[in-house]
Structures are given as structure tokens and as C-alpha cells.
Amino acid sequence: MENIKDLFPCHIDSPEAMLSLGARIGALLKKGDILALIGDLGAGKTHLTQGVAKHFSYTGAVTSPTFNLIHEYSDTPLIHTDFYRLDKPEELLQIGWEDYLEREAILIIEWADRFPELIPPGSHWIKIQHQDTGRSLQYAHH
């Protein structure tokens, strides 16, 4: 069986290809796995997440969680959060971050590097960077 790590490094040249990569990653994820995404605004973190959701047959909207901090997609084992608007780790701890980590779900975190102390060891860190055309992605050891 293929490992998530083996998909990287790679170059992804369109939003559609980003969705496909997300779906391939989704197929390799097990419940309890965590994807910690790193990349500037517009890097494609939400697209990658949409691809994962697609693998789990989720057909609703996948957008960056902002005010509510956490999105949980119905009928999937997928939970999505974004640390971009998180001012301090306490905000997330107050809404039960530890409980989310214990859940039998796949967790995807955009801007994970803002608060790496909130990310458990063993998470899959993926770094996305803008290129002249498309994006480059690397499996990052954090």
C-alpha cells in the first residue's frame, strides 16, 4: 500500500489537479489521521481539503472555517479547521480541541504552523508553495 509521504514532492498545475491529489490523499487516510497544512493565502490548502472531502463523497461546500473555527462535514469522518484567524491556542482549547483530537475522525488543519504546539506528533505535515505556474507540495517533517 502506498504511503502519503510517497506522493511528495510533487508539482500540481491546476485547481482541478489539487482536488485529485486531495482525493488520492483521502484514500490513504485512516480515521484518527491528521493533515497539518502549511502555505500562504491562496496556496491551495482549502482545495486540497475539498479533494479529501470528495474522496469521502461529501458533496457540500468546503470552505475555510473562520468564525466558528471548526467545520465538521456530515456523514464523513472529516473535521476541518484553520488557524489563520485563531489569535491564541486557548480559544481552541476552550471549544474542546483535546476532544476533537480524541475523535475517530480525520482532522485537517490549515495554517497549522501558526500553532504547531496544538498539533500532535505523528501528524502529516504538507507544505504548499506558489510557483510561477501551479504549486509545489512537499511532505514536511516538523
Ligand X SMILES: Nc1ncnc2c1ncn2[C@@H]1O[C@H](COP(=O)(O)OP(=O)(O)O)[C@@H](O)[C@H]1O
Give the interface with ligand X as residue ranges (CB under 6 A): 12-15, 17-18, 39, 41-47, 64, 110, 134-135
CB under 8 Å to 69, separation ≥6 — which residues? 81, 82, 85, 86, 91, 92, 95
Residue 124: name its binding partner from ligand X, Mg ion, none (Cβ under 5 to 8 Å by kind): none
Q: Answer with the entry of ligand X, Mg ion, none that 18 interacts with (C-beta below 5 to 8 A by kind).
A: ligand X
Q: Is 45 in the site for Mg ion (CB under 5 A)?
A: yes
Count, residues near Mg ion per rule CB under 5 A: 4
Regarding 64 and contact with Mg ion (CB under 5 A), the answer is yes
Give CB contacts under 8 A, 24+ apart, made by 11-16. Answer: 11/131, 11/134, 11/135, 11/136, 11/137, 12/44, 12/134, 12/135, 12/136, 12/137, 13/133, 13/134, 13/135, 14/134, 15/44, 15/47
CB of 59 to ligand X, least distance (A): 18
Least distance (Å) between residue 1 CB and ligand X = 25
Which residues contact Mg ion by CB under 5 A? 45-46, 64, 110
